[in-house]
Amino acid sequence: QVQLVQSGAEVKEPGASVKVSCKASGYTFTSYGVYWVRQAPGQGLEWMGWINAYNANTRYTQKLQGRVTMTTDTSTSTAYMELRSLRSDDTAVYYCARGGKTAAELAFDPWGQGTLVTVSS
Amino acid sequence: QSVLTQPPSTSGTPGQRVTISCSGSSSNIGSRLVNWYQQLPGTAPKLLIYSNNQRPSGVPDRFSGSKSGTSTSLAISGLQSEDEADYYCAAWDDSLNGWVFGGGTRLTVL
């Protein structure tokens, strides 16, 4: 079955970077894209960006432009999301989800289990 | 403040029908397909409705979606206790060039 499995929880100090992985299985990785979404404690969902797993084209939300980088490793069917210069308000659960070959295409399905990133000194 | 507007909460009794509204603008709901997600407590979101009114395989037909102009709604009939969750609408926004979500609606089954 189609599945996305994410890396484990992280605790980072302010100013540090974090890199979350999302390993896909059950489908042809390069035929789809990957979305990244985050959810702060007790808050709603926030779209962070998208990457085309075939050609590595990306689209990031303006809010995170310059601090976020999304990449893929097609040899292991894994997507990565790196967020730099972490602040306390980056504390959230980070989700990956399968998407389309363009940023606006396809619903988010399925989702990874989520990765809690805590930013604290 | 979310781009798409949903009521923060709603409730119903078992067997009842409830609807959750989601309003947007011409740059998102008015010109794009809408998806709905269900997030059970402590779990990742799950796709519930796509392309305005389509159900993925495995989603009961008690769940339905509709769209009119710049608004959309999710209806749940024959409410069950396991439907207690947060529900989010989402659409691509052509002005922001990104996906936007509603703030979420918490459904309580009384």
Phi, psi angle pair for B83, to nearest 5°? -80, -5
Q: What is the mean pLDDT of residues B79-97?
A: 97
Q: Which chain A residues touch B50 with a CB distance below 8 Å?
A: 107, 109
Are A45 and B101 an interchain contact pair (Cβ–Cβ within 8 Å)?
yes
- Rounded to whole angstroms, the Cα distance separating B33 from B35 reads 7
Are A62 and B90 an interchain contact pair (Cβ–Cβ within 8 Å)?
no
Structure tokens, A102: 């363009």
Are A61 and B98 an interchain contact pair (Cβ–Cβ within 8 Å)?
yes
User: Tens digits of per-residue pLDDT, A24-75?
Assistant: 999 999 999 999 999 999 999 999 999 999 999 999 999 999 999 999 999 9
Looking at the partner chain, which of B88, B97, B99 has a beta carbon nearest the beta carbon of A44?
Answer: B88
Residues in contact with A1: Cβ distance below 8 Å, sequence separation at least 6, in sequence order = A26
- Confidence (pLDDT) at B1: 85
- Rounded to whole angstroms, the Cα distance separating B81 from B59 reads 16
User: Tens digits of per-residue pLDDT, B54-74?
Assistant: 999 999 999 999 999 999 999
- Rounded to whole angstroms, the Cα distance separating A47 from B98 reads 8
Residues in contact with A117: Cβ distance below 8 Å, sequence separation at least 6, in sequence order = A9, A10, A12, A18, A20, A83, A86, A90, A91, A92, A93, A94
User: Tens digits of per-residue pLDDT, A87-100?
Assistant: 999 999 999 999 99
pLDDT category of residue A83 using cuts at 50, 70 and 90: very high
- Confidence (pLDDT) at A105: 84
- Confidence (pLDDT) at B31: 96
How far does B97 lie from chain A, in Å, by closest CA?
8
Nearest CA in chain A to B43: A113
- Sheet of A18-25: strands edge to edge? A3-6, A18-25, A78-83, A68-73
Q: Is A22 on the interface with B (CB under 8 A)?
A: no
Structure tokens, B99: 């996906």
Query: Is residue A103 pLDDT above 90, yes or no?
Result: no
- Residue A94 — left, alpha, or beta (φ > 0 → left; ψ -120 to 50 → alpha)? beta
Are A103 and B100 an interchain contact pair (Cβ–Cβ within 8 Å)?
no
Q: Is A95 on the interface with B (CB under 8 A)?
A: yes
Q: Is A111 on the interface with B (CB under 8 A)?
A: yes
Instruction: Give which of B62, B63, B85 is closest to B74, Cα–Cα.
Output: B63
